[in-house]
Amino acid sequence: MTYVLKPKFHHPALPKNKLGFTHRDYEGSVSTLCAGCGHDSISAAIIQACWELDLPPHRVAKMSGIGCSSKTPTYFLGQSHGFNSVHGRMPAVATGASLANRDLIYLGVSGDGDSASIGLSHFANCLRRGVKMVYILENNGVYGLTKGQFSATADKGSVSKQGVSNPDEPIDLISMAILLGATYVARSFSGDKHQLVPLIKGAMHHRGVGFIDVISPCVAFNNHPGSTKSFDYVRMHNDAVNALDLMIGRDEIVVDQAPGTVVEVTQHDGSVLRLKKIDEHYDPTDRLAALGYVQHGHAIGEVVTGLLYVNDDPGDLNDRMHTVEVPLSSLGDAELCPGSEALEAINAALR
Ligand SMILES: Cc1ncc(C[n+]2csc(CCOP(=O)(O)OP(=O)(O)O)c2C)c(N)n1
Ligand code: SF4
Ligand SMILES: [Mg+2]
């Protein structure tokens, strides 16, 4: 993979977070994506979210598959762990890593080709099982890296750069995620950092998969009239159901005086998601209603964004599998190999 290192110097007055880190400490190498690619804006939102959350970069593990989107972990969190897997297999690798070491924060990045085509079963099982991770899908409706073929999320009738109309029904990963039992389901737009950054922060504090489908226009192959994943289309058809903020327990809770009702969802770790409702009827904790709302938006050509569904304390795969608290790599010989008597007892229990 080609990459260009960024120069190390920065302005001495750059603000620092509680760990004493500036934004620069959360950056990676210089991006080699096309100028204006939506994926770069998502990388910037991830950097902002991690900086605001005071995350120690060495506690984050970036996981990805193959595609322009999956290249992006090189461009943020340069001091974190990373695993660039094969096409569509990011969720499987993240599942294994999460079971072996529940101490790290897993941040998965995938594309619509990566997750909705070759990796669809991996996407489905990861969400169904509730792997504790943030799963960001950078959705441009095309295979950007291989020059703009329609992906499985391209809308029916969407027109390619060459003027060809897509004849197939799209897979809506948001509806699918809700049906599969995912417990934090959001959609956003790469061009809306104000919405995306709090959504990422909320996903990082969620137990289980924090899934965010981010519409991310491909300026090279899918940003023309006729595309439903272009900057112009999403700006004209975006309908945000809520405005979101994340309050962490240690911070002072400030009163939001803006008009509109505010709903607070307390997550398992005590952090509070504050949802300012724009649509007064929208309840993100009602799973069936959320599904109906998303489907209705799709039917009338609206891109519904915001936190669409959340279950505040669902438990995760580690809880259900009773995995050890300490990372496997920290266990000694005695714990890893308890001897033939223990093995006999296990075998006897299975007979
Ligand atoms: C097993 C396998 N099949 C096909 C490919 C070719 N390939 C590379 S990236 C890609 C699609 C990427 O699309 P997407 O996940 O949407 O990422 P984008 O580039 O649009 O961000 C394909 C088909 C591959 N690398 N490996
Ligand atoms: S081809 Fe598309 S997705 Fe890939 S870097 Fe260029 S604009 Fe981004
Ligand atoms: Mg794509």
Any atom of ligand 2 within 6 Å of the Cβ of 39: yes
Residue 295 belongs to what H/E stretch?
A: helix 287-299
Nearest listed ligand to the Cα of residue 231: 2
- Which tens digits make up the pLDDT trace of 230-245? 999 999 999 898 888 8
Any atom of ligand 2 within 6 Å of the Cβ of 113: no
With bands split at pLDDT 50, 70 and 90, how would you rate the model's confidence at 291?
A: very high
Task: Tell me the mean pLDDT in the region 245-254.
Answer: 64
Weakest-pLDDT range from 2-16, 179-193, 213-227, 246-260: 246-260
Provide Rg for the chain, Cα atoms. 21
Check: CB of residue 46 under 8 Å from CB of residue 77: yes
Residue position matching structure tokens 């990805």: 64
Any atom of ligand 2 within 6 Å of the Cβ of 42: no
Which residue's CA is the closest to the ligand 2 atom numbered 5? Answer: 33
Exposure string over 41-75, b if 16+ CB within 10 A, otherwise e: bbbbbbbbbbbbbebebeebbbbbbbbbbbbbbbb
CA end-to-end span of the chain: 50
Any atom of ligand 2 within 6 Å of the Cβ of 120: no
Atom from ligand 1 closest to the CA of residue 112: 16
Task: Tell me the mean pLDDT in the region 325-345.
Answer: 91
Which residue's CA is the closest to the ligand 1 atom numbered 16? Answer: 113
Q: Which of 41, 66, 112, 227 to mutate to test the pocket of ligand 1 (most atoms within 8 A of CB)?
A: 66
Handedness of CA 221, 225, 227, 233 (dihedral sign): positive
> Both tokens of residue 157?
């009738």
The phi, psi pair for 108, rounded to 5°, reads -95, 135
- β-partners of residue 272 are 247, 266
Task: Tell me the mean pLDDT in the region 30-51.
Answer: 97
Q: For residue 258, what pLDDT is reported?
A: 47
- Which tens digits make up the pLDDT trace of 204-220? 999 999 999 999 999 99
| List of residues 6+ apart from 84 with CB closer than 8 A | 1, 64, 65, 66, 70, 71, 73
- β-partners of residue 154 are none
Nearest listed ligand to the Cα of residue 147: 2
Q: Has residue 107 got a pLDDT over 70? A: yes
Which residue's CA is the closest to the ligand 2 atom numbered 1? Answer: 144
- Which tens digits make up the pLDDT trace of 167-180? 999 999 999 999 99
The rounded distance, in Å, linking the Cα atoms of 162 and 94 is: 37
> Both tokens of residue 24?
């620069």
Query: What three-state secondary structure class fits 63?
Result: strand
Q: For residue 257, what pLDDT is reported?
A: 44
Max mean pLDDT among 154-158, 256-260, 298-302 falls in 154-158
Residue position matching structure tokens 């945000």: 240
Q: Has residue 74 got a pLDDT over 80? A: yes
Ligand 1 site: residues with CB under 6 angstroms? 66-69, 87, 111-114, 118, 138, 140, 142-146, 151
| List of residues 6+ apart from 4 with CB closer than 8 A | 29, 30, 32
The rounded distance, in Å, linking the Cα atoms of 325 and 318 is: 9
Q: Has residue 260 got a pLDDT over 60? A: no
Any atom of ligand 2 within 6 Å of the Cβ of 219: yes
| List of residues 6+ apart from 221 with CB closer than 8 A | 140, 142, 144, 147, 148, 160, 161
Q: For residue 272, what pLDDT is reported?
A: 84
The rounded distance, in Å, linking the Cα atoms of 112 and 154 is: 9
* Cα(114) to centroid(ligand 3), Å: 7
Residue 129's CB is within 10 A of a number of other CB atoms, namely 18
Task: Tell me the mean pLDDT in the region 114-124.
Answer: 98
* Cα(56) to centroid(ligand 1), Å: 31
Which residue's CA is the closest to the ligand 2 atom numbered 8? Answer: 37
Amino acid at 144: G
The rounded mean pLDDT for the chain is 91
